[in-house]
Amino acid sequence: MTIPAPLSMPPRLLMGPGPITVDPRVLQAMSVQMVGQFDPAMTAAMSEVMALYRTVFATANEQTLLVDGTARAGIEAALVSLITPGDRVLVPILGRFGHLLAEIAGRCGAKVHTVEVAWGEVVPLEMLEEALRTVRPALVAAVQGDTSTTMCQPLAELGTLCHRYDALLYVDATASLGGNPFETDAWAIDAATAGLQKCLGGPPGGAPITLSGDAVARILARRHVEAGIREGDDVDSGVRIGSNYLDLAQIMDYWGPRRLNHHTEATSMLYAARECARLLVAEGMDAVIARHALHGRAMLAGVEGLGLRVFGDRAHKMTNVVAVHIPDGADGDAVRSGLLADFGIEIGTSFGPLHGKVWRIGTMGYNARKDAVLLTLAALEQVLRSAGVAVLGGGGVGAAREVYQEAAL
Amino acid sequence: MTIPAPLSMPPRLLMGPGPITVDPRVLQAMSVQMVGQFDPAMTAAMSEVMALYRTVFATANEQTLLVDGTARAGIEAALVSLITPGDRVLVPILGRFGHLLAEIAGRCGAKVHTVEVAWGEVVPLEMLEEALRTVRPALVAAVQGDTSTTMCQPLAELGTLCHRYDALLYVDATASLGGNPFETDAWAIDAATAGLQKCLGGPPGGAPITLSGDAVARILARRHVEAGIREGDDVDSGVRIGSNYLDLAQIMDYWGPRRLNHHTEATSMLYAARECARLLVAEGMDAVIARHALHGRAMLAGVEGLGLRVFGDRAHKMTNVVAVHIPDGADGDAVRSGLLADFGIEIGTSFGPLHGKVWRIGTMGYNARKDAVLLTLAALEQVLRSAGVAVLGGGGVGAAREVYQEAAL
């Protein structure tokens, strides 16, 4: 076969719903050479990663670690390890990623019950309480920020409510963590997972996870050490977890003091995850969230300044992504292609009922920056004009600038 | 919390059974910036990866792609997608990784039958045929190179034999691919998976996989497109695959012309996988395998030249790793620690019945090199001497040099 050339990628400013442009310091960390799986330098790095993500997740949970796969692997690890086949699981659905949780829970053998709202809304707490009362689930699985609609589900009281009905609470914070307040312990969340490729400023492929004591107890009640490495005092308990790769009981044994061999840790992804969290913690989690709020506000003002109409319930919008209705007469995909081909800027469309109806513009991670916001608005203005959409010259950049000026006062 | 410093790892020469030192050109590829998930540059890179791994796997299989996780994720993706709960699955067990296949197949709901030989041997074809005749499995799942024992299971005739009994053949080639002959099509193998961190010269975290037409047909017979992205003509068929993340039907739809959203591809790992295969294909697969054979032969001669005794059936040894009995009186872990602390060189021990009984020394990927072999032997001589083991000064390096001299003639 013809040998392709060494990798060369075009420069892109990724302003979609993620993945986003990776902080160059994270890319640098990924090019650090390997050490062995149980090298003292490796196990020390694993311990640092655990400590760093406790700060990111705002938790004291000992079991705070990485699943080796994309955000979806983290979700499935949590669900397959927490759900015993036959369990009732309640899933509030705001958009595509609520459907995903229901789908994965179903594959884990759960009896899935959903409460669903129209895309662009969040689920009221009373609706969740009513469902908890009637369904009596073993687990509630909720998305915090569903990028398909840009809605951010309020969670502050949900953990306590779940516990009142003897349910654990799992939260998929993939797209929201770092960009929106998230308080694992203060909100009594039992399990949460994320991805690196959104507000954490990293590449897709690693999934931070944190587990409360109750979640750990539920998982360890189903601990089965695999043949070939088990020892005399390893006794099986409970119904075996349906996955080996995503079995959190085994993954905790690997990350814990026993360092029991499981998979071979994806070293470069661990390096990336460490650097993502290190940069966030150095900046300060409150400052990181405030930064996302500021640039999100500027982008929202900017798209409105261009005359575009924002989608969804604004009171519950995620900070880090905005959805706008594609204006009548404009070809949504052609505008996106034009932005990419002529300006090197990527924005997204959405899924299901919103596919081809909205664009989604993100301001997250490394790209929650003033120059990224202003460049995107300036380019979008040009592309909209070429597409025949009536735009106010300078309206987008001007409105965003005003937000920045107010913030600087 | 205290902010840790940017990542800095000690220099290591990784001469264990993997992960190994990564080719610096692969590390460089990993530091390339992101493009979007469906950017034409990204989908072009995905297509290149498919073509490159067809050459690596020696196959014309259209469905040759990556699973986003470590080698174990690739194994589980193959098994969970190929096994319908209740299927009979036959697993030949040579060592720890055969136990792992049996374990994963069990979690996928298979009725698992095993044929087992003593550690250090391979399973005779007649024994496999006898088991095929009596068990009548839907799938045979076999490890090619089981690093726990360093044995390489002969496979050339197994695929045809399996088909005669209406079984498909899956092979875990994680530790062997690139270092030992592997012929997907010529050997009639239906599914094979690997990892990057052995003979392919990359980091752990990506799992190349190839699937024959029969394997694809079996998987697509259980195709379920997930809610939230399914379209009108997506009809469910068969028993739903028990994992979403590792569902190869969905992963094929993501890599295929439909580009149906599933996980977000782990971009940096894809970059790494592309560079690993690019380097292998540029060198030529036969040359890569010959290189592993040469340096493996030199290492084997070297450890014998030091007076160490090789473990296992030499006629069926993998080229890329050798196991040696830890000499009487030597503390195996102390020798390994001394090599690491004083010389920066890592070698491995093994699992189960061989734990603490053998050392495993790898010559694979980037470290299948003369200087790596000679340095390891020189350092090992010193550490053995310090541990009070009688060694012949220069015996290891000298014997290895002879192998290189003969090869140069």
Q: What are A91's strand-pairing partners?
A: A114
Q: Higher pLDDT residue, B367 or B230?
A: B367
pLDDT attached to residue B409: 82
Q: Are A396 and A377 in contact (CB under 8 A)?
A: yes
**Length of chain A, please?**
409
Rounded CA separation B274/B280 (Å)? 10
Residues A289 and A381 in one domain: yes
Tell me how many domains chain A contains: 2
Give this complex's ipTM: 0.97
Q: Is the model's pLDDT at B314 over the cut of 90? A: yes
Structure tokens at A120: 């662009």
Test B35 with A25 for CB contact under 8 angstroms: no
Half-sphere exposure of B244 (CA within 13 A, CB side): 28
The backbone torsions φ and ψ at residue B387, rounded to the nearest 5 degrees and listed phi first, read -80, 0
Rounded Cα–Cα distance for residues A324 and B34 (Å): 25
Separation between Cα atoms, residue B370 and residue B298, nearest integer Å:
8
DSSP label at residue B178: T
Provide CB contacts within 8 A for B108, sequence distance 6+: B76, B79, B80, B83, B85, B242
Both tokens assigned to B215: 């394997």
Q: Looking at residue B236, what is its pLDDT?
A: 84
pLDDT at A225: 86
Residues 6+ apart with CB under 8 A from B269: A205, A266, A268, A269, B30, B66, B68, B196, B203, B205, B206
Residues in a beta bridge with A169: A140
Q: Which of B226, B253, B281 is the last residue of a domain?
A: B281
> How many other C-beta atoms lie within 10 A of the C-beta of residue A124?
13
Q: Which CATH number does the domain housing residue B106 bear?
A: 3.40.640.10
Residue B131 lies in a domain: yes
Task: Please indicate, yes or no, if residue B3 is contained in any of the structural domains.
Answer: no
Q: Are B210 and B191 in contact (CB under 8 A)?
A: yes
The answer on A255 and A367 residing in a single domain is no
Do A297 and A277 fall into the same domain? no
**B52–A99 CB contact, under 8 Å:** no
Q: Does B33 touch chain A (CB under 8 A)?
A: yes
Q: pTM value? A: 0.98
The pLDDT assigned to B36 comes to: 96
Q: Is A2 domain-assigned?
A: no
The phi and psi torsions of A119 (rounded to 5 degrees) equal: -65, 125
Taking only the tens place, the pLDDT of each residue in A204-222 is: 999 999 999 999 999 999 9
Chain A residue numbers touching B97 (CB-CB < 8 A): 228
pLDDT band at A279, cuts 50/70/90? very high
Q: What residue has token string 């505008």?
A: A335
* Cis peptide bond prior to B19, omega within 30° of 0: yes
Question: Residue A172: exposed, middle, or buried by beta-carbon count in 10 A (0-12, 13-18, 19+)?
Answer: buried
Tell me the pLDDT band of B229, cut-offs 50, 70 and 90: confident
Residue A354 to residue B247: CA distance in whole angstroms: 26
Distance CA A394, CA B375 (A): 65
The predicted-structure confidence for B114-129, as pLDDT tens digits, reads as follows 999 999 999 999 999 9
Q: Is some CB atom of chain A closer than 8 A to the CB atom of B100?
A: yes
Give the H or E element holding residue B372. Answer: helix B370-386
CATH of the domain at B294: 3.90.1150.10
Residues A55 and A142 placed together within one structural domain of the fold? yes
Instruction: Give yes or no: residues A275 and A346 share one domain.
Output: no
Classified as helix, coil or strand, B241 is coil
Interface of A with B in 252-281 (CB under 8 A): 261-269, 271-272, 274-275, 278, 281
Q: Helices (H) and strands (E) in chain A — how many of each?
A: 13, 13
Q: Give the mutation candidate from B269, B279, B350 for the A interface (greatest A CB count, under 10 A).
A: B269
Judged against a pLDDT cut of 90, whether residue A198 lies above it is answered with yes
- Judge whether B3 and A48 are in contact, CB under 8 Å: no
Which single residue is written with the structure tokens 């990204």? B42
- Cβ within 8 Å of residue A409, ≥6 positions away: none
For residue A34, the chain B residues in CB contact (below 8 A) are: 9, 12, 14, 19-22, 197, 203
The DSSP bridge partners found for residue A88 are: A111
Residue ending a domain, choose from A231, A252, A281: A281
Please check the confidence at residue B231 and state whether its pLDDT lies above 80.
Answer: no
Instruction: Judge if B258 and B319 occupy the same domain.
Output: no
Task: Give the per-residue pLDDT at B230.
Answer: 78
User: What's the token pair of residue A205?
Assistant: 């492929």
**Which residues 80-99 of B are in CB contact (within 8 Å) with A?**
80, 95-99
Please, which pLDDT band fits residue B235 given cuts at 50, 70 and 90? confident
Tell me, what amino acid is at B397?
A: V
Check if the beta carbon of residue A52 is closer than 8 Å to that of residue A277: yes
Verify whether the Cβ–Cβ distance A68 to B71 is below 8 Å: no
Residue B316: the pLDDT is 98
Query: Greatest CA span in chain B, whole angstroms?
Result: 74
> Tens digit of pLDDT for each residue in B29-71?
999 999 999 999 999 999 999 999 999 999 999 999 999 999 9
Asked whether residue B203 falls in the same domain as residue B303, the answer is no
Establish if A10 belongs to a structural domain: no
Let me know if residue A14 belongs to a domain. Answer: no
Tokens, residue B399: 């014997």
Whether residues B292 and B304 fall in one domain: yes
DSSP A212: -
Q: Which residues pair with B114 in a beta bridge?
A: B91
Query: Which chain A residue shows the shortest CA-CA distance from B149?
Result: A228
| Predicted pLDDT of residue A379 | 98
Residue B1 predicted with pLDDT over 90: no
Asked whether residue A331 is assigned to any structural domain, the reply reads yes
The terminus-to-terminus CA distance of chain A in angstroms comes to 61
Same domain, B326 and B204: no
Sheet holding B168-172, edge to edge: B63-67, B207-211, B191-193, B168-172, B139-143, B88-93, B111-116
Long-range contacts (CB closer than 8 Å, 24 or more residues apart) made by B109-118: B109/B83, B109/B84, B109/B85, B109/B242, B110/B79, B110/B83, B110/B85, B110/B86, B110/B139, B111/B86, B111/B87, B113/B88, B113/B89, B113/B137, B114/B90, B115/B90, B115/B91, B116/B92, B117/B92, B117/B93
Asked if residue A3 belongs to a domain, the reply is: no
The residues facing B192 across adjacent strands are: B171, B210
**Omega cis (within 30) before A19:** yes
Residue B9 lies in a domain: no
Tell whether the model's pLDDT for residue B375 goes beyond 80. yes
Its domain, for residue B171, covers 21-281
Q: How far apart are CA A284 and CA A282, in angstroms?
A: 5
- Of A266, A281, A296, the residue at which a domain comes to its end is A281
Contact B358, B367 (CB under 8 A): no
CA distances from A25 to A19, A237, A312, B71, B242 (A): 16, 44, 35, 27, 38
Same domain as B265, residue B251 = yes
User: Across chain A, what does the average pLDDT equal?
Assistant: 96
Q: Cα–Cα distance between B182 and B188 in angstroms, integer?
A: 11
At B381 the pLDDT is: 98
What pLDDT digit, counting tens, does each position of A317-366 carry? 999 999 999 999 999 999 999 999 999 999 999 888 999 999 999 999 99
Considering the domain architecture, whether residues B104 and B224 belong to the same structural domain is answered as: yes
Counted residue by residue, chain B has a size of 409
- A120 CA: distance to closest CA in chain B (Å): 14
Residue among A213, A274, A224 nearest A253 (CA): A224
Instruction: Check: CB of residue A70 under 8 Å from CB of residue B263.
Output: yes
Nearest by CB to residue B352, choosing from A30, A75, A228, is A228
Give all strands (DSSP E) within B82-157, no chain letters: 88-93, 111-116, 139-143, 145-146, 151-152
Mean pLDDT of A122-138: 98
Distance (Å) from the C-alpha of residue B405 to the closest C-alpha of chain A?
31
Inform me whether the pLDDT recorded for B237 exceeds 90.
no
Kindly determine whether residue B76 and residue A244, on different chains, have CB atoms separated by under 8 Å.
yes
- Tell me the C-alpha distance between A97 and A143, whole Å: 7
Do B118 and B196 have their domain in common? yes
- pLDDT at residue A226, rounded to an integer: 82
Instruction: Compute the distance between CA of residue B73 and CA of residue B105 in angstroms, rounded to an integer.
Output: 13
Among candidate residues A91, A93, A121, the one with its CA nearest the CA of residue A106: A91
Extract the tokens encoding A96.
């595509």
Cβ-based contacts under 8 A for chains A and B: 304
Among A35, A333, A354, A361, pick the best mutation site for testing chain B contact (most B Cβ within 10 A).
A35
Whether residues A204 and B4 touch (CB distance < 8 A) is answered with no
